[in-house]
């Protein structure tokens, strides 16, 4: 490298409840070993464009890296990219994260994106910044794994980079780069100062609908236990966090590997939440459950997805409906709240599947009334978005909209910002959903969440939740979900929270 490069890293605005931007912290740690970096977090600096231009005006940056997942983050990512292009036309613009990984050609169809880095970014970004510092010749660019770029106007996809197991992750993330950590320690149902952390990387499973499978292709790895200990120690004693959301793609994997991590967590005793699978939890021994209780796991997010064994097979979930029911009971016994997510309205057998899911949800609630339910619309990834191992492998029925026309996915990032595509990316709506079924789902969810308000709702007073629950109980009991007008009116005053909008 000819000089010490300086990179601007951006997290486009997506939520009003900021959490540590773990992706950018990991990237910054990698970049800072060879140069310097500065983070602009749009979840904190709500005027993302203004804050970015102010930062870019203060000192020279060799490039800007923007981290984007599909959905509401695409529009601010475009706005900030266009503003940089206008103000600093020679600054290379690099997109990374889930959106450019899944939709690489679409990303590079935009004139305001120069480079797309697919999957894990630490090594590729450092190599790209270094190559750009040396003039960014074609030969240097062609050797960077996981990079997609343009050669003479043609898009080139370099081979995938090998999965790296996190060994290059620092023992402590550079939280200091974010300024005041207080802004990131908001209250949740877990505690007054909830932090986030990701211990392991990747997921062994390759469910056809999941962005994580598309990113990692079934690779996974655990961190050294010393790293987890160091991070938790810093989060608890250094920053004063009292609870943790674990963002691991799938926290409970092989039991033997989990025990040392759980022992550390049992030592810190900070209430926690994580993503888990029914089959893995069902396999845990009594002694491990004892550790889980001691570590204070409060809630596990479990992808139930569907009440149908055939559908679970089709999407390669690897679990069965009876395992979902069994884990609801098991969690009740161990004092852990299971948070089940469902994918309603699949493109085939749409109505019947949805009605069956409603009945299955009722069964879960009967087995364990504390179960939390999150309902999404099943919006499969386009084949081209899957991991290269999984592309073109399964003959799935073509997706058709309500008029019977084939669904055509967006070809540019700008198109992805249209309301219908943001909803698609958020699993909130699909082109094959009729108005009638959309209404039916909305009404069911209204009755369900009034009857069983989520414990994650800290805003609505207890009395209001009790009132709503009483009001909704006859509808729920008699399955009279349609047109719950009285609940809609009451909701306008109480505004019960929907967990799927904000995440845990």
Contacts with ligand B12, residue ranges (CB under 6 A):
11, 14-15, 21-23, 26-27, 43, 65-67, 69-72, 94, 96-98, 102, 117, 120-122, 125, 198, 210-212, 247, 249, 425-427, 500-501, 503
In the complex, minimum distance from the CB of residue 403 to ligand B12, in angstroms, rounded to a whole number: 26
At residue 453's C-alpha, the angle toward residues 242 and 344, to 5°, is 105
In the complex, minimum distance from the CB of residue 216 to ligand B12, in angstroms, rounded to a whole number: 9
Residue with smaller CB distance to ligand B12, 26 or 148: 26
- 297-305 and 272-276: which strand pairing? parallel
In the complex, minimum distance from the CB of residue 107 to ligand B12, in angstroms, rounded to a whole number: 11
Residue with smaller CB distance to ligand B12, 182 or 359: 182
Residue number with the smallest Cβ distance to ligand B12: 96
Residue with smaller CB distance to ligand B12, 71 or 223: 71
Assess contact for 193 and 187: CB atoms under 8 A. Answer: yes
User: Which residues, including other chains, have CB under 8 Å from residue 267's CB and lie 6 or more apart?
Assistant: none
Q: What is the spatial distance between Cα 9 and Cα 95, in angstroms, rounded to a whole number? A: 10
Residue with smaller CB distance to ligand B12, 116 or 292: 116
Residue with smaller CB distance to ligand B12, 48 or 327: 48
DSSP state of 400: B
- 201-202 and 220-221: which strand pairing? antiparallel
In the complex, minimum distance from the CB of residue 407 to ligand B12, in angstroms, rounded to a whole number: 16
Residue with smaller CB distance to ligand B12, 373 or 425: 425
Q: What is the spatial distance between Cα 175 and Cα 55, in angstroms, rounded to a whole number? A: 19
For the purposes of burial, counting CB atoms within 10 Å of the CB of 232, is it exposed (0-12), middle (13-18) or buried (19 or more)? buried
Q: What is the spatial distance between Cα 182 and Cα 390, in angstroms, rounded to a whole number? A: 42
Sheet holding 93-96, edge to edge: 36-41, 6-11, 63-67, 93-96, 115-117, 147-151, 154-157
CB-CB neighbours of 411 under 10 Å = 12
- 93-96 and 147-151: which strand pairing? unpaired
In sequence order, the β-bridge partners of residue 184 are: none
In the complex, minimum distance from the CB of residue 473 to ligand B12, in angstroms, rounded to a whole number: 29
| Percent helix, percent strand, percent coil in the chain, to nearest 5 | 45, 15, 40
In sequence order, the β-bridge partners of residue 38 are: 8
In the complex, minimum distance from the CB of residue 488 to ligand B12, in angstroms, rounded to a whole number: 20
Residue with smaller CB distance to ligand B12, 97 or 410: 97
In the complex, minimum distance from the CB of residue 259 to ligand B12, in angstroms, rounded to a whole number: 22
Residue with smaller CB distance to ligand B12, 344 or 367: 344
In the complex, minimum distance from the CB of residue 134 to ligand B12, in angstroms, rounded to a whole number: 18
């Amino acid at each position: 490298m000819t000089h010490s490069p300086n990179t601007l890293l951006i997290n486009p605005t997506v939520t009003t409840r900021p959490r540590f931007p773990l992706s950018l912290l990991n990237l910054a740690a990698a970049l800072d070993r060879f140069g310097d970096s500065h983070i602009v977090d749009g979840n904190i600096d709500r005027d993302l464009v203004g804050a970015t231009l102010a930062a870019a005006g203060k000192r020279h940056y060799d490039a800007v890296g923007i981290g984007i997942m599909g959905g509401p983050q695409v529009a601010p990512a475009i706005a900030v990219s266009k503003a940089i292009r206008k103000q600093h036309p020679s600054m290379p613009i690099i997109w990374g994260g889930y959106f450019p990984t899944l939709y690489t050609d679409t990303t590079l169809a935009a004139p305001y994106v120069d480079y797309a880095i697919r999957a894990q970014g630490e090594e590729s970004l450092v190599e790209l910044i270094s190559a750009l510092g040396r003039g960014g010749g074609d030969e240097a660019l062609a050797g960077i794994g996981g990079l997609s770029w343009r050669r003479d106007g043609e898009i080139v996809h370099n081979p995938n980079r090998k999965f790296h197991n996190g060994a290059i992750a620092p023992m402590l993330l550079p939280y200091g780069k974010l300024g005041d950590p207080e802004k990131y320690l908001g209250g949740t149902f877990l505690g007054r100062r909830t932090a986030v952390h990701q211990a392991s990387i990747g997921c062994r499973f390759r469910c056809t609908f999941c962005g994580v499978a598309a990113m990692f292709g079934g690779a996974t790895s655990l961190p050294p236990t010393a790293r987890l200990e160091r991070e938790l120690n810093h989060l608890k004693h250094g920053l004063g966090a009292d609870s943790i959301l674990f963002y691991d793609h799938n926290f409970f994997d092989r039991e033997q590997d989990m025990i040392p991590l759980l022992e550390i967590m049992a030592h810190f005793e900070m209430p926690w939440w994580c993503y888990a699978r029914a089959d893995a939890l069902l396999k845990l021994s009594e002694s491990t459950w004892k550790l889980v209780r001691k570590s204070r796991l409060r809630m596990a997010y479990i992808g139930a997805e569907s009440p149908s064994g055939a559908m679970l097979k089709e999407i390669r979930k690897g679990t069965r409906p009876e395992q979902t029911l069994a884990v609801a009971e098991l969690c009740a016994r161990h004092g852990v709240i299971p948070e089940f997510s469902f994918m309603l309205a699949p493109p085939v057998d749409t109505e019947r599947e949805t009605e069956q899911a409603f009945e299955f949800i009722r069964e879960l609630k009967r087995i364990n009334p504390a179960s939390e339910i999150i309902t999404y619309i099943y919006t499969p990834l386009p084949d081209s978005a899957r991991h290269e191992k999984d592309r073109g492998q399964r003959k799935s029925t073509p997706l058709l909209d309500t008029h019977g026309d084939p669904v055509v996915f967006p070809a540019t990032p700008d198109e992805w910002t249209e309301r219908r595509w943001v909803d698609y990316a958020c699993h909130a709506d699909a082109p094959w959903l009729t108005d009638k079924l959309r209404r039916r789902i909305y009404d069911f969810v209204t009755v369900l969440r009034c009857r069983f308000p989520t414990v994650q709702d800290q805003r609505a007073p207890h009395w209001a939740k009790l009132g709503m629950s009483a009001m909704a109980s006859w509808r729920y009991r008699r399955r009279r979900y349609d047109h719950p007008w009285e609940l809609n009116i009451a909701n306008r005053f109480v505004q019960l929270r929907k967990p799927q909008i904000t995440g845990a």
